[in-house]
Amino acid sequence: MNQSGKTRRLPARGLPRQSVHPPLDLPLVSQATRRLVKIHNYSPGGLYIELSDQLPPGSRVRLEWQESPPPMFSFKPFSSLPALVRWSKKLDEGSHDPFGAGLQLLLSACDKCGLRVPDDQIARLPGPFQLCQGCRQTMQNVLDDGRLRSVLGRFYLGNVL
């Protein structure tokens, strides 16, 4: 509720959710505390989880797995994903876990290949550019090789000067 006494509406969900049946247990790390949470649904941008204690909205957490990633993350070659707690609430008495929370996955897309990777694994370049580690390494190899400098030099000599 806001100051004028009206209920504040949250924006409509931008991505469709997929249910997880039965709910999937996955470790979650928050402020060096590791706990088991149940994933009930997910989308490319986030998750709904239930857990035994409340997470403060705005806090950063990390979903982790030991061996292969859960089915919904199998296209990502990572062992963990960073997320932001968007909301958290106490659930009804009949729920298995007393709290529910909405997590926003903190992923960025590589400007070269389009791969979505965790924010902490993306290379931010000068300006608005960001690359995944693979594309950054490829670009670094080309720059270190000197071929790009040679090609650009020939281009400028032949077309600009």
12 within a domain of the structure (yes/no): no
Domain closes at, from 105, 127, 149: 105
Q: How many domains does the chain have?
A: 2
Evaluate if residue 14 carries a pLDDT over 80: no
What band does 1 get if pLDDT is binned at 50, 70 and 90? very low
Assigned token pair, 28:
């979650």
Same domain? 141 vs 89: no
Are 90 and 142 within one domain? no
Residue 78 dihedral angles phi and psi, to the nearest 5°: -120, 160
Q: What is the pLDDT of residues 116-135, one digit of tens each?
A: 888 888 888 777 788 888 88
* Same-domain pairing of 96 and 26: yes
**In the predicted model, what is the mean pLDDT of residues 130-142?**
85
- 11 found inside a domain: no
pLDDT tens across 17-43, in order?
777 767 777 777 777 788 888 888 888
Contacts 24+ apart (CB under 8 A), 120-123: 120/82, 121/78
The per-residue pLDDT for range 89-111, each reduced to its tens digit, is: 998 877 677 899 999 988 888 88
Alpha-carbon distance of 139 to 131, in angstroms, equals 9
Q: What is the mean pLDDT of residues 52-58?
A: 89
Identify the CATH number of the domain in which residue 22 sits. Answer: 2.40.10.220
